[in-house]
Amino acid sequence: MNELQEKVALVTGGGRGIGRAIALALAQTGCNVAVLARTQGEIEQVTAEIQATGRRSFAIRSDLSDGKAITHAFAAITEELGPIAILVNNAGVVEPIGSIQTIDPDAWAQAIDINLIAAFRWMHACLPMMLERGWGRIINISTGAATGTGMENSSAYSTSKAGLEMLTRNSAAELRETGVTVNAVHPGAVDTAMQAHIRGLPIEQVGQQIYDRFKGLYEQGTLLEPSQPARLVVNLLRGESTGKIVSIYDQQGQELLKQ
């Protein structure tokens, strides 16, 4: 039995990288997929690829730092595809990068809006439909930077993702035994535009430790392909686990990759 067949899924940040791979993987499982991001050309291309598989898809451009834009996008998606049963909060920004005393506070706050508050807004919007039907799946894409002391010179990114993980655990506890699960995923070091962006910044801005790590992963050829975390996400969506923070590198993550 394919539990995901004909379910409507929304992937934020679905125009490229990990989000694009997740959207395509969900379509392959039989989902109808809404693809949301800021770049119209990218989401239209992903939507066309999904539609070529015979699934329904909807491209919608939206600013995740704007609560009213999210409300509008939610209404448009549900009108076009129907109730959202699967939500993948993948969209995120790594900027501003720099030391706390040099970065713009407004840019810092905007990163929190996009990486954390927008995820909450989407959960808040989708949950009534999920609870009414007694089935829903929410996955928040986090990062290893949410643990320990975070990623050097990336306090907004690290802080917002740590908050996203607490939102994941807290909401999973609230929603236990409702049929709605909430989990988060650490996708690992993936070959994406974000990785390339960080590698291109000056050492003094990103910090020597992060620069060396990201450059080393690239030069050693050890970056993951986006299709790998996408497969993990789809297999996690099939199960009943909730309140988990799953890393692609840990035992549960590796088992999900093998399914």
pLDDT tens digit sequence for 213-229: 888 888 888 889 999 99
What's the average model confidence in pLDDT over 5-22? 97
CATH classification of 8-189+227-258 is 3.40.50.720, yes or no? yes
Counting residues of the chain whose pLDDT is more than 90, the rounded percentage is 83
The pLDDT tens digits of the residues spanning 61-111 come to 999 999 999 999 999 999 999 999 999 999 999 999 999 999 999 999 999
pLDDT at residue 216, as a whole number: 84
Percentage of residues in the chain having pLDDT higher than 70: 100
The residue among 211 and 157 whose pLDDT is bigger is 157
pTM of the model: 0.95
Predicted pLDDT at 217: 82
Residue 222 CA to residue 239 CA, distance in Å, equals 29
Res. 8: pLDDT tops 90: yes
Q: Give how far the C-alpha of residue 71 lies from the chain's centroid of Cα atoms, to the nearest Å.
A: 19
pLDDT of amino acid 154: 94
Q: Once rounded to an integer, what is the mean pLDDT over residues 152-181?
A: 97
Q: Please list the residues that pair with 139 across neighbouring strands.
A: 88, 183
Q: What pLDDT sits at residue 193? A: 81
Identify whether 211 is a catalytic site residue: no
CB-count exposure of residue 5 (10 Å: 0-12, 13-18, 19+): exposed
Q: What is the dihedral of CA 114, 191, 35, 13, to 10 degrees?
A: 0
Read off the DSSP letter of residue 92: -
User: Binning pLDDT at 50, 70 and 90, where does residue 199 land?
Assistant: confident
Residue 188 has pLDDT above 90, yes or no: yes
- R_g of the chain computed on alpha carbons: 17
Q: Which residues are within 8 A (CB) of 70 and not within 5 positions of it... i.e. 6 or more apart? A: 62, 64, 118, 121, 122, 125
Task: Point out the catalytic residue in the list 157, 211, 218, 249.
Answer: 157
**Edge-to-edge strand list for the sheet holding 57-61:** 57-61, 32-37, 8-12, 86-89, 136-141, 180-186, 245-247
Q: What is the dihedral of CA 182, 15, 120, 180, to 10 degrees?
A: -30
The pLDDT, as a whole number, for residue 1 is: 57
Spell out the domain ranges in the chain. 8-189+227-258
- pLDDT score recorded for residue 165: 98
Going by the DSSP 8-state scheme, the letter that residue 145 receives in this structure is G
108-156 confidence digits (pLDDT tens): 999 999 999 999 999 999 999 999 999 999 999 999 999 999 999 999 9
Reported confidence tier of residue 169, pLDDT bands at 50, 70, 90? very high
Mean pLDDT within 229-252: 97
Q: Vertex 82, ends 79 and 85: CA angle to 5°? A: 135
Rounded CA-CA distance 130/116 in Å is: 21
pLDDT of residue 194: 81
**What does the pLDDT read at residue 116?**
98
What is the residue-averaged pLDDT of the chain?
94
Q: What is the arithmetic mean of pLDDT over 148-166?
A: 96
Q: How far apart are CA 235 and CA 214, in angstroms?
A: 28
